[in-house]
C-alpha cells in the first residue's frame, strides 16, 4: 500500500471514530437531559446528519469538551436564552446552550440556516460577567487557538470561530 493511500485510510478511520464519538455524546447527554425523547427521533437524527454533512463534527466535539470541562471544573454554564445555538436540539444536548428547544421543527430549521451560512461558522456563547473571565482562562490553559477580536476572546477551530461574550446583569 502506498503512503498516500495509507494516509487517506488513516484520515477516513479518524473521521469515522469522530462521527461515532459525536453520536455517542449526543445520545449520552440526551438520556440525561431529555430521556423522554426517543433515540430514533427524526429531528435528532436529521440534526446529527446535518452536522456531519457540513463537516462540523470535529468542532462540535471540541466545543463539547470545552463546555463540559468548564461546567465540571468551574460549575459555569452558558447564559440561558442567549447565544448562537439557542433553541437548537443537538447544541442544547451538548451544553452549548442552556435552553431546550421550544419546537423540534424550529430547532432543525435554525440549525440548517446557521450551518448553511458563512464559513467558518461564527458562534457566540454568553457567560455571566462575573464568571466569563474564569471560563476564558480555563480555555486558554488547555487550547492554543485563543486570541481576541474586537476586545472579545475567541477560539479558532477548524470550521468554527467561537466568541465568548459577557452578559452584565443589573
Check residue 1 and give its pLDDT.
61
Question: How would you class 27 by CB atoms within 10 Å of its CB: exposed for 0-12, middle for 13-18, buried for 19 or more?
Answer: middle
Return phi, psi of residue 153, to 5°: -70, 135
Domain membership of residue 141 as a residue range? 3-167
Low-confidence ranges of the chain (pLDDT < 50): none
Sequence-distant (6+) residues with CB within 8 A of 90 are 26, 44, 47, 48, 51, 60, 111
Check residue 111 and give its pLDDT.
86
User: How crowded is the C-beta side of 118, counted as CA atoms within 13 Å?
Assistant: 5
Task: Please tell me the total count of domains within the chain.
Answer: 1
Please tell me the pTM assigned to this model. 0.89
- CA 152 from chain centre, in angstroms, equals 19
pLDDT tens-digit profile of 75-113?
A: 999 998 889 998 899 999 999 988 888 888 888 888 888
Check residue 115 and give its pLDDT.
86
Amino acid at each position: 500500500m502506498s503512503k498516500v493511500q495509507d494516509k487517506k485510510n488513516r484520515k477516513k478511520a479518524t473521521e469515522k471514530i469522530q462521527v461515532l464519538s459525536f453520536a455517542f455524546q449526543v445520545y449520552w447527554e440526551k438520556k440525561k437531559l431529555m430521556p423522554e425523547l426517543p433515540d430514533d427521533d427524526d429531528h435528532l437524527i436529521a440534526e446529527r446528519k446535518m452536522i456531519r454533512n457540513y463537516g462540523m463534527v470535529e468542532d462540535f466535539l471540541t466545543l463539547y469538551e470545552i463546555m463540559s470541562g468548564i461546567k465540571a471544573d468551574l460549575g459555569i454554564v452558558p447564559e440561558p436564552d442567549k447565544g448562537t445555538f439557542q433553541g437548537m436540539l443537538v447544541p442544547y444536548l451538548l451544553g452549548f446552550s442552556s435552553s431546550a428547544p421550544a419546537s423540534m421543527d424550529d430547532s432543525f430549521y435554525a440549525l440548517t440556516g446557521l450551518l448553511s451560512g458563512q464559513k467558518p461558522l461564527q458562534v457566540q456563547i454568553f457567560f455571566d460577567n462575573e464568571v466569563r473571565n474564569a471560563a476564558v482562562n480555563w480555555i486558554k490553559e488547555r487550547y492554543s487557538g485563543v486570541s481576541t477580536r474586537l476586545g472579545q476572546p475567541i477560539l479558532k477551530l477548524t470550521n468554527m470561530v467561537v466568541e465568548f461574550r459577557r452578559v452584565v446583569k443589573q
